[in-house]
Chains A and B, each alone.
Chain A
Amino acid sequence: MVISRNAAEFVVAFVTGGLGALVCYSALQNGVAWGASGPEPGYFPFYVGCLIILGSAGTAVQALWRSGAAEVFADGHNIRTVAAFFVPLVVLVALCQWLGLYIAMALYLFFATWLGAKLRPFNAFLVAAITTAANFVIFEILFTVPLLKGPVLEYFGIY
């Protein structure tokens, strides 16, 4: 699978254009006029949204204009490498929601360095354990910042 640069340009321009439209829509609800004593709350956001749409359209047209170059944005290999890094990251964040940051972090680091970086399981375990412990010491003990603990740590009396 190959994603051409132009396709990527279009997708991104479409997304930013959509965001611009969303900004305009929301600004309309705040009032976009220039009142007697200066602009209403929606005035600036509205034109900011318009400029986003304008810029996005310009980008899309520009991409169309020089569409001769069949530049590649990402090929199959790229996509796989990025996904191999990004998907576990999303899983990590999802796990954080209900396992707490520390356990999710340890699991993620273990698997990412074991399967991703091809460390030996024991070394991967060491990396995970040391990083998690270091974070625990820095945040919980040094700076008393409570990170999300999750039910498991709470059960063991770690708040």
Chain B
Amino acid sequence: MKIQRTIALAAMLAAGAPAMAQDFKPTRPVEFIVAAGPGGGSDTFARVVQASLSKSGLLTSPIIVTNKAGGSGAETFIYAKTSPGDPYKLFFGTQDAYVLPLASKLSYSLDDLTPIAAMAFDPFLLWVNPKTSGIEDVKGFIAKAKEQPGALKVGGAKAKEADETLMTLIEQKAGVDLTYIPFKSGSEAAIQVAGGHITANVNNPSESVEQWKAGVQKPLCVFEDARLEDKTVIADGMSWNAIPTCAESGIDVKSFAQPRTVWMSAKTPPEAVAYYTELLKKAAETPDFKAYVSRGAQIPRVLTGDAFKEFIAKHKASYAEMYKTNGWLRAEN
């Protein structure tokens, strides 16, 4: 009896489903799925978006944040593949969405995702502990690295991802030989530098800024075209703006910032895509989100629609190039 009823209901449900409203408006809880564990960069990003949307009343439906950090976040995008067209699931990550499949054999591809927006760009900096390493600037760093090839240990988050890629770029552009040591997160690597166990690390500002204030880390240069804008003094009488770019100080690596990206699954109805694109644009304007961006010295640049797609294509190609040089690229790509 019960089973028959279920089948009947299921059939009715199937018939009723296509009656989609013209203008999309969420009527049930929206799920944010994060490609990082609690406390990670993408996690903070997603939760700040959640906070700014719910506090400002831009989105009244409840927002549920879940973390699927497995496989360096691949779990999140595989999950996206299993729920195509679901207008209640947003996926939060970085460039990992399109970079992960370059090196690892994964069952999803970029075609399983609909790009929604990049909401900010998190720059990378080169950090050392000036006290334990005796390095004060990029010149000193390069000199030391040339003195003893392979002896300088550079830490970063995870293997064969942004941090290690950046390290190999430094090696190529500065003509030095370094040893990369992967840690579970950028903040762990930062502490290892602060404790003098390794020489340097490449990190986003937010994960090392407190160590900088405490005098156990010092930023050497920023991997961007231009200096960061914030002129508020942070520590040692220096502001973010006072940090030279790496290009001007001898390591010719530019615009390496990682985008903070939001995705939906493939086949999402266009009206839902349009709705969330507008929503996230507004979210980026809220005081909460702006405070988050400036706290982490991130670059406030929002990309949506075709501009975002163009950026993805370019960024993916540049990563593929770098991966190829490093020998990490999978044969199929």
Contact = CB atoms under 8 A, between A and B. Distances in A.
**A and B in contact, CB less than 8 Å:** yes
B279 interface: no
Contact of A154 (B13, B62, B179): B13
Contacts of B12: 155
A145 B108 CA distance: 26
Interface in B248-298: none
Contacts of B29: 144, 146, 159
B231 interface: no
Interface string A134-155: 0000000000111000011011
Interface residues of A, number: 11
A145 B66 CA distance: 9
Nearest to A151: B10
Contact of A152 (B6, B62, B179): B6
A99 B6 contact: yes
A57 interface: no
B151 interface: no
Contact of B13 (A37, A145, A146, A151): A151
Interface string B28-46: 1101000000000000000
Contacts of A107: 2
Nearest to A153: B9
Interface in B8-31: 9-10, 12-13, 28-29, 31
B31 A146 contact: yes
Contacts of B179: 37
Given A144-B64, A146-B64, A152 B28 contact: no
Contact of A155 (B13, B28, B62): B13
B62 A144 contact: yes
Interface residues of B, number: 12
A99 B10 CA distance: 10
A61 B31 CA distance: 53
Contacts of B2: 107
A152 B64 contact: no
B164 to A, nearest CB: 14
Nearest to A37: B179
Interface string A18-41: 000000000000000000010000
Contacts of A159: 28-29
B9 A152 contact: yes
B254 to A, nearest CB: 30
Contacts of B9: 151-152, 155
Which residue, B13, B31, B62, has most C-beta atoms of chain A within 10 A? B13
Contacts of A154: 13
Interface in A104-154: 107, 144-146, 151-152, 154
A152 B6 CA distance: 6
A135 B28 CA distance: 20
Contacts of B10: 151-152, 155
Contacts of B28: 159
A120 B198 CA distance: 69
A144 B64 CA distance: 7
Contacts of A145: 64
A93 B38 CA distance: 29
Which residue, A37, A151, A154, A159, has most C-beta atoms of chain B within 10 A? A151
A24 B221 CA distance: 45
B241 to A, nearest CB: 39
Which residue, B9, B64, B179, has most C-beta atoms of chain A within 10 A? B9
**3 closest A-B pairs (Cβ-Cβ)?**
A159-B28, A151-B10, A155-B13
Given A99-B6, A151-B13, A155-B12, 15 more contacts: A37-B179, A144-B62, A145-B64, A146-B29, A146-B64, A151-B6, A151-B9, A151-B10, A152-B9, A152-B10, A154-B13, A155-B9, A155-B10, A155-B13, A159-B29
Interface of A: 37, 99, 107, 144-146, 151-152, 154-155, 159
24 contacts: A37-B179, A99-B6, A107-B2, A144-B29, A144-B62, A144-B64, A145-B64, A146-B29, A146-B31, A146-B64, A151-B6, A151-B9, A151-B10, A151-B13, A152-B6, A152-B9, A152-B10, A154-B13, A155-B9, A155-B10, A155-B12, A155-B13, A159-B28, A159-B29
